[in-house]
Chains A and B, each alone.
Chain A
Amino acid sequence: MSITVYTENWEGKFRKSTFEAVCYAKKIADISNKEVKAISIGEIDENELKKLSNFGANTIVSYPKIKKNNEKGVATIIKNESENSNLIIFSNTFNAKSIAPRVSVKLNAGLITNVISEINDLENISVKRQSFSSKAIESIRLKSNCGVITISPNAFNVTENVVSFNIEVKANELDSNISITGKDVNKGKISLSEAEVVVSAGRGLKGPENWNMIEELADCLGAATACSKPVSDIGWRPHSEHVGQTGKAIAPNLYIAIGISGAIQHLAGVNSSKIMVAINTDPEAPFFKAADYGIVGDAFNVVPKLIDELKKINNN
């Protein structure tokens, strides 16, 4: 018996969220005396596949000829590979969220998304998940024999756990019911959902031309950039950066909010951040009630100083 984990890659490279999912599966496998079986989809080289075994994957099955955006096909593969499994783990990426519901139907398995707690008993699965846009945590129990779980990013540690492994490469091909006609990816940008540090700015920045300092600050910190809803509505920044109740929900280790008032809808999507810093001219800004650190001051004055300070330590 095994725990199945979908190990997504991006142009042949795994990301932190992939390893989080493998580690999550390994923990359950250990308490229930099972193995971890990883399913990889798309072209990838063997050295990259091997990395999965550093986190506990015993069996690694690779389907290089299937594309991950053929989600219907991927779901079929995962179902077929899960004959000896009653638990399938995914991370919470866009791709995983398009596959996991399909797998749950195929296996008649309950689906639990946004999971933030570990599983302690494989016979009686109950976990905690984020709900109400991070305004609440829901405990939920699986009623079916088989379960499909997607885990929240940055909720679990990635710890090394080197195991012996074998890699099987399968040459299956499968038709897709959608065709991809184009793709536009910001190369080199840090993924907002997975970022450990996020620098975010709001309407207090006055105009899109002032984002240079925000990007520079993000560069100093190896951070992703985000923004409040009105900023993306007026087109100062792309929609993909909008965080909050109606945008992305994120949970970085550090969230720096610059010129953002801290409206309830904004906080809903960022409240799960471990540490929040607010920089705002208005000492009454609601963000100061939610933040761990606050600076009352003008962003145009504070941000350059912060960049200087960080450059000093980066240079040491």
Chain B
Amino acid sequence: MNILVCISSVPDTTSKINFTENNTKFDKNGIQFVINPYDEFGLTKAIMLKEKLQANVSVITVGDASVEPVMRKALAIGADKAVRINMQPMDSFSTANEIASYVKQNKYDIIIAGKESSDYNSGAVPGIISEILDIPFVNACNGLNIEGEEINLSREIDGGIEKIQTKIPLIIGGQKGLVEESELKIPNMRGIMTARTKPLEVIEATTTNHLTESIEFEKPSVKGECKMIDENNISELVNELQNVTKVI
């Protein structure tokens, strides 16, 4: 079985978000990049499947050379091979299109992406890949079990969970539940050493076609002062919410 995990390199969650060049570009200065948290659940799941089913696990990303440390980390966690498509991602469509082109030439049974990336939050890449490749897509996936030919999954729906059965090849948009937080793997010394010798293939992008264009960024307006209310005067809070801000 061949598994492909799509990895997005994102700013560490504690990062202060700033922009440069007249607010048109994300300011990478001083930012620590990490594996997108949703992708990390998927990567860990893939490594578990590798151990259980002797699967091969590749990781893929679309980005410039600056994302390579994040790919090395994925190798250190246990992936066998990394692929970087050398292109500055322009939008979800161009990113997904590149990954789909790669999959067309290299057979994969299960493609695992995150349900969204924590930077641009588009949540569109796995869905677009599924349509290009015409394969089943399970979004917000929080459970994946393989027993022989049978693939059983679960996914979050509004207010609940749905159980699904389908066939390979398929793609999921993963999240917590695929594995638990406590099961996430931290690379050990041996992993880091062997990662250095594992292949990290660089492929040139096939197109530059994109359908949307980012113009600029702004930060949400800063909130006013917090109004402190005495704990013995709860009726004041209720009055404020009911009659001043009118939210209840």
A, B co-complexed: yes
Binding site for B on A (CB under 8 A): 10, 69, 71-72, 75, 93-95, 97-98, 100-102, 104-106, 108-114, 126, 130-144, 177-186, 189, 191-194, 196-197, 221, 233, 239-240, 242, 245-247, 249, 253-254, 264-265, 268, 271-272, 274-275, 277-278, 288-298, 301-302, 305-306, 309-310, 313
Nearest chain A CB to B4 CB, angstrom units: 18
A133 to B118, CA, bound (A): 6
A115 to B163, CA, bound (A): 30
Nearest chain A CB to B161 CB, angstrom units: 5
Q: Are A185 and B211 in contact (CB under 8 A)?
A: no
Q: Are B213 and A141 in contact (CB under 8 A)?
A: yes
Nearest chain B CB to A187 CB, angstrom units: 8
Nearest chain B CB to A36 CB, angstrom units: 23
Q: Are B130 and A144 in contact (CB under 8 A)?
A: no
| Chain B residues with CB under 8 A of A301 | 231
Nearest chain A CB to B92 CB, angstrom units: 6
| Chain A residues with CB under 8 A of B30 | none
Q: Are B229 and A108 in contact (CB under 8 A)?
A: no
Q: Are B235 and A183 in contact (CB under 8 A)?
A: no
| Chain B residues with CB under 8 A of A113 | 121-124
Binding site for A on B (CB under 8 A): 11, 13-14, 17, 19, 37-38, 91-93, 96, 118-128, 130-132, 135-140, 142, 152, 155-166, 176-177, 180-182, 210-220, 223-224, 226-231, 234-235, 237-238, 240-242, 245, 247-248
Residue of A nearest to B160 (CB): A185
Q: A101-B128, A233-B181, A277-B237 are in contact. Are A133 and B121 (CB under 8 A)?
A: yes
| Chain A residues with CB under 8 A of B128 | 101-102, 104-105, 111
What are 5 sample pairs from A and B whose C-beta atoms fall under 8 A apart? A104-B124, A180-B163, A194-B158, A240-B160, A297-B231
Q: Are B165 and A178 in contact (CB under 8 A)?
A: yes
Q: Are A111 and B122 in contact (CB under 8 A)?
A: yes
Interface of A is mostly: mixed
Q: Are B127 and A108 in contact (CB under 8 A)?
A: no
Q: Are B124 and A101 in contact (CB under 8 A)?
A: yes
Residue of B nearest to A293 (CB): B227
Q: Are A138 and B214 in contact (CB under 8 A)?
A: yes
Q: Are B211 and A249 in contact (CB under 8 A)?
A: no
| Chain A residues with CB under 8 A of B160 | 183-186, 240
Residue of B nearest to A297 (CB): B231
Residue of B nearest to A222 (CB): B248
Q: A113-B122, A133-B118, A305-B234 are in contact. Are A138 and B164 (CB under 8 A)?
A: no
Q: Which 5 A-B pairs have the closest CB atoms?
A: A101-B127, A297-B231, A110-B211, A185-B160, A182-B163
| Chain A residues with CB under 8 A of B125 | 101
Q: Are A246 and B37 in contact (CB under 8 A)?
A: yes
Residue of A nearest to B231 (CB): A297
Q: Are A265 and B14 in contact (CB under 8 A)?
A: yes
Residue from the set B137, B140, B224, B226 with the largest chain A CB neighbour count within 10 Å: B226
| Chain A residues with CB under 8 A of B182 | 233
Q: Are A295 and B211 in contact (CB under 8 A)?
A: no
Nearest chain A CB to B9 CB, angstrom units: 14
Q: Are A112 and B227 in contact (CB under 8 A)?
A: no
Q: Are A130 and B164 in contact (CB under 8 A)?
A: no
* Cβ 8 A contact of B158, one of A94, A253, A291: A94
* Cβ 8 A contact of A249, one of B121, B127, B138, B164: B121
Residue of B nearest to A230 (CB): B181
Q: Are A183 and B163 in contact (CB under 8 A)?
A: yes
Residue of A nearest to B97 (CB): A105
Q: Are B163 and A136 in contact (CB under 8 A)?
A: no
Q: Are B228 and A295 in contact (CB under 8 A)?
A: yes
A144 to B128, CA, bound (A): 16
Q: Are B142 and A131 in contact (CB under 8 A)?
A: no
Q: A136-B19, A295-B228 are in contact. Are A245 and B218 (CB under 8 A)?
A: no
* Cβ 8 A contact of A264, one of B13, B122, B166, B228: B13
Q: Are A275 and B245 in contact (CB under 8 A)?
A: yes
Q: Are B124 and A111 in contact (CB under 8 A)?
A: yes
A286 to B86, CA, bound (A): 40
Nearest chain A CB to B6 CB, angstrom units: 14
Q: Are A75 and B131 in contact (CB under 8 A)?
A: yes
| Chain B residues with CB under 8 A of A247 | 176
Nearest chain A CB to B237 CB, angstrom units: 6
* Cβ 8 A contact of B166, one of A131, A178, A278, A305: A178
Q: A137-B218, A180-B164 are in contact. Are A111 and B212 (CB under 8 A)?
A: yes
A140 to B120, CA, bound (A): 12
Q: Are B130 and A139 in contact (CB under 8 A)?
A: no
Q: A110-B212, A275-B245 are in contact. Are A292 and B124 (CB under 8 A)?
A: no
Q: Are A310 and B238 in contact (CB under 8 A)?
A: yes
Nearest chain B CB to A98 CB, angstrom units: 4
